[in-house]
Amino acid sequence: MEEKPIGEYEKGLMEFFRDYVTENKQSLIENALNERTRYVTAVVENIYKSQNASAVLRTCDCFGVHDFHIVEDSPRYKMNPNVSKGAGAWVNIHRYDDEAGDNTEVCYERLKSEGYKIYATSPHASGVPIERVPLDSKVAVVFGNEHSGLSQKALDMADGYITLPMYGFTESFNISVTASICLHNLVNRLRETDVDWHLSQKEKDAIRYRWYRRVVRKAEALERRYREEKGLL
């Protein structure tokens, strides 16, 4: 999940693009990069309503969570632009949608190989309140669909369970509310620790390059001009 480092060509092109990015936009990008983290990430499994998945994506961006994982056995996720408000341009979306594979298992194995402890949101008997989830390792929080919650596989492979206290008659929060509560708690607590949760310089460079490509107008035409000036055509 780490960003592929950019080479000298991309670094030169990024500096060329810089002249076409307003100072205000450059400042916004640098501020966002400095606040971005991969120490916490979010996973959704088989979400039925696109507005719910899009709301979680938007929440990730708002809290500086850079990666969003979507397990799509059925149905397929479609971005709802009215809800995501363009968050998909700034957050890395990782999709697991192999029709012949076990997408939940593939997602979990990838996260665990990258050092994440996986916590499933569930009214599980052994669940812990969100404020007690330890931050001594990277954390991935998994959210289930609106009808049946998380699959048994997602529950069985999790390292732990998160519960949120509720005091009314309703059995559960909406998925977007659950994600907001969880990410707000984890990210805010993380910022109060000594954990180095920031992006590395190489990650910042790679993400900045990708973001510059997105914000400049006619990026492909500008790249051709850059290659002409450098004699690379």
Residue ranges at the known binding site for S-adenosyl-L-methionine: 121, 164
- Angstrom CA distances, 137 to 34, 40, 45, stand at 20, 9, 22
Question: Do β-strands 138-143 and 92-96 pair in parallel, antiparallel, or remain unpaired?
Answer: unpaired
Please name the helix (run of DSSP H) or strand (run of DSSP E) that holds residue 81, with its range, or none.
Answer: helix 81-84
Q: Which long-range CB contacts under 8 A does 4-7 form with residues at least 24 apart?
A: 4/206, 5/202, 5/205, 5/206, 6/205, 6/206, 6/209
What's the first-to-final CA gap in the chain, in angstroms? 32
Give the separation between CA 181 and CA 170, rounded to whole angstroms: 17
Query: Which candidate, 70, 37, 211, 108, places its Cα nearest to that of 79?
Result: 70
The vertex-125 CA angle with 120 and 131, nearest 5°, equals 55
Q: Are 57 and 90 in contact (CB under 8 A)?
A: no
Query: Which candidate, 175, 173, 142, places its Cα nearest to that of 158?
Result: 142
Binding site, by residue number, is 121, 164
